[in-house]
Amino acid sequence: MKFIGKLLLTIALLLVLAIVILYVLLQTRWAAGSLSRWVSDNSEYRLSFDKVDHSWSTPSRITLSGVKFGEKNQPDVLDANEVDFDLSWRQITDPRFFDRLVLVDGTLNLSPSPLNLPMQANTLQLNNIALNGSLEQWKVAGKNVNAGITPWQPAKNAVLGNNAQFQLSADTLALDDIPANNVLIQGRINNQQLTLSNFGADMARGQLTGKASRSIDGSWTLDNLRLSNIRLQSAQPISTFWQEFVKLPKVDIKRLDLIDARLQGQNWAFTDLDMTITDVTLQQGDWQSTDGQLSLNATDLINGNLHFLDPIVNLDLSSQGVAIRQFGTRWEGGLLRTTGSWERATKSLKLDDVSVAALEYTLPPNWRQLWVDTLPDWLSEVSVDKFTANRNLIIDISPDFPFQLTSLDGFGTNLQLAHNHQWGIWSGKLNLNASDATFNKNDVRRPSLALEASTDKVNITELSAFTKEGLLEATATVSQQPQRDFTVKLNGRAVPANELQNWGWPEIPLQGNVNLQLDLQGQMPANVDFKPTLNGALHATGNDGKQVQQQMTKGVTGPAQ
């Protein structure tokens, strides 16, 4: 019996010695190289590491140094200075499942697709890791990333797994090439439902904070998003941003705050912009809301040739459309102000009271073309209940027929300024007058116009102006049909003999001041030269009693028949 006891003790001691020797050998570079080759030769993965370490102060932890890991014929997934494996009793039945997996000081490449990682853990921890590749639907690039994922059970095309909580911080992190610093993200993923319970970052010299979630169908809900002191510059036109916006999935905004933002791009800019949006859903370039609001104010808004100073906008959004509680801005040296509503069903913009004061505005060169162009789909009708204008300066520098109206005042009621996506004066009453005006080099004083429009025609009941010593008075009618048939009756008393020459009527053989009567008919269809449609007659009497009668037929003038 003593012999058997000694034999068993010897075997036990040898076994312990073998374990000790194996324990020591496993922590040598030779063992590290042998294990690396064995894994690479007997699996679909490539693995290399420099050394295995173990400390009895943390007996359940195994540390690998200088680790490189990836699928064969694919880029490395991991290149880390250190990887810590915390073991658990579950290793007995599931060797690939660890209690904790810690990646320290390295690079994690998420580009290989699909990733097929051979291990899981109760917790995956990243310490000072650089991230590159794709995560969910985003292109990701991060430095000095620290993160924790619990539990970590990666699946095909789901590197975070299908059910996990996570927390991430990074010195720098770029999503789809949008850079951010000092990033913090906390959230949960549950079967493709992503919840970001808290996120924040420094970006574009400002700060971003918020809470959001993404549904299985890819739509987003922004519970709150706050952007403060953003300073963004881009070389892109605003139309490019709109195209990218249309491509976005459905976004349900509970609250979005933009505070003291300065944004600038090609031919557009927003300075000191404050904006709040609540309860709005955006999808494919359109919006829906049942009880939303939009409030906006800024120092400057620039879009192309439009430059608004100190704009203030307050809108109520509903399923029926938009209620304009307040709109005011300084523009071209003057002030614009209005209230009203836009109706979704009829695409109608109804303005209660439009006030225009002290403008100094030069019309764009293509304003005539803009007047006849078809309005966009979302705007079919424009009406104004009350219109007032005070002390405005309007200038047109077109070489064909330049004009200028000085100290222009106006008053209008029940005006319909657009119908069926087309600008015009389709109904209502309008009165305009100015202190002085110039029409194609002819100076006049106190020009005045009064008109009344209906669905059939525009009736100009008064059109008058003082010349140097005389007076011009006219009435006219213009049909609302596409051919725009019109008639004009003009009387001039003590006006220069060739007052009409700069306005298109040929020179008449009289000198000094004359009295004249002009009857003219024609058509003004859009984008067509109307001169060949003109027919009319002119009768002029000079101070000496000499009379001249001329007749125009199809735009050509000759003696009266």
CA dihedral of residues 525, 531, 537, 541 (deg, nearest 10): 120
Residue 416 CA, distance from chain mean position: 30
Helix (H, G, I), strand (E, B) or coil at 117: coil
Q: Give the DSSP H/E element, type plus range, for residue 344.
A: none
Please give the pLDDT value at position 113. 56
List C-alpha distances in Å: 175 to 210, 404, 410: 16, 53, 54
- Residue 16 is predicted with a pLDDT of 46
Residue 369 φ then ψ, to 5°:
-70, -40
d(Cα 188, Cα 166) in Å, to the nearest integer?
6
Cβ atoms within 10 Å of 400's Cβ, excluding its own:
7
| Encoded amino acid at 386, one letter | K
Per-position pLDDT tens, the chain of length 561: 555 655 555 555 445 444 444 444 444 555 555 676 776 777 788 888 777 776 666 677 788 888 888 887 788 888 888 888 888 888 778 888 888 999 999 998 876 555 667 788 899 999 999 988 877 677 888 999 999 999 988 877 777 788 899 999 999 998 877 889 999 999 999 887 889 999 999 998 899 999 999 998 889 999 999 999 999 888 888 888 778 777 788 999 999 999 999 999 899 999 999 999 999 999 888 899 999 999 999 999 999 888 999 999 999 999 999 999 999 999 999 999 999 999 999 999 999 999 999 999 999 988 989 999 999 999 999 999 999 999 999 999 988 899 999 999 999 999 999 999 999 999 999 999 999 999 999 999 999 999 999 999 999 999 999 998 899 999 999 999 989 999 999 999 999 988 999 998 888 888 889 999 999 999 988 888 888 899 999 999 988 889 999 998 987 886 755
Where residue 501 falls (left for φ over 0; alpha for ψ -120 to 50; beta otherwise) is: alpha
Q: What are the E-state strand segments in 191-250? A: 193-203, 206-214, 220-228, 231-237
Nearby residues of 168 by Cβ (< 8 Å), 6 or more positions away: 126, 145, 146, 147, 148, 183, 184, 185, 186
Residues constituting the chain? 561
Torsion from C-alpha of 374, 375, 376, 377, nearest 10 degrees? -90
Task: Identify each DSSP E strand in 15-119 by its residue range.
Answer: 45-48, 51-54, 61-71, 78-86, 97-109
Q: Give the pLDDT of residue 312.
A: 97
d(C-alpha 207, C-alpha 230), whole Å: 7
d(CA 336, CA 60): 74
